[in-house]
Amino acid sequence: MFPTRSAIAALLLACAPLAMAQPPERGMRGGDPGVMLENRIAEMHDAIGITAAQEQAWGQVTQIMRDNEKVMRDAMRAVMGPNRPQSAPDMLKAAADMAATHAQGARRLADAFAGFYGQLNADQKKAADQQFSEQGPRGPMGRDRSR
């Protein structure tokens, strides 16, 4: 028996970052992933209390966040679009490819954030730690925390 499309979609969604893991224009919670990401970026900026001197490093972090969102959205379009995988092995390979793409983006973000984190004072580090502890490692990937 072949898995249903919804089962395959669920598998793919489990392997992709939260906001970007829906059909191309909708996040898991029904919102636009780009808007949700921008809201998360603004929330983190305010919560951490980023100073003018830290803006350049913060800009590098947020650019990676935006790049990751676009890459994952484009990858989702490819696997959910008209040329989506049809066989179970191809669907599983697509899920593995999505997971690898997500992991590469997460590594780029972790590396950039580590450099940014080094510029923070103790209170800012505590605020950044709190931002991540409330959501786990997926926090900055655009999850809409208002729901």
Residue 79 lies in a domain: yes
Residue 147 lies in a domain: no
**26 with 73: CB under 8 angstroms?**
no
Number of domains composing the chain: 1
Per-residue model confidence as pLDDT tens digits over 7-45: 444 444 444 443 333 344 444 556 788 899 999 999 999
**103 with 71: CB under 8 angstroms?**
no
Residue 29 lies in a domain: yes
Does the pLDDT of residue 137 top 80, yes or no? no
Residue 113 lies in a domain: yes
Say what percent of the chain tops pLDDT 90: 52
Query: Using CA atoms, how far apart are residues 62 and 97, in angstroms rounded to an integer?
Result: 24
Q: What mean pLDDT is reported for the chain?
A: 79
Per-residue model confidence as pLDDT tens digits over 37-88: 999 999 999 999 999 999 999 999 999 999 999 999 988 888 888 888 889 9
Residue 26 lies in a domain: yes
Nearest-5° Cα angle at 110, 137 to 146 = 40
Query: Using CA atoms, how far apart are residues 116 and 76, in angstroms rounded to an integer?
Result: 29
Banded pLDDT at 143 (limits 50, 70, 90): very low
Does the pLDDT of residue 5 top 90, yes or no? no
Biggest CA-to-CA distance, the chain? 59
**142 with 65: CB under 8 angstroms?**
yes
Residue 14 lies in a domain: yes
Query: Using CA atoms, how far apart are residues 84 and 77, in angstroms rounded to an integer?
Result: 9
Residue 89 lies in a domain: yes
Residue 146 lies in a domain: no
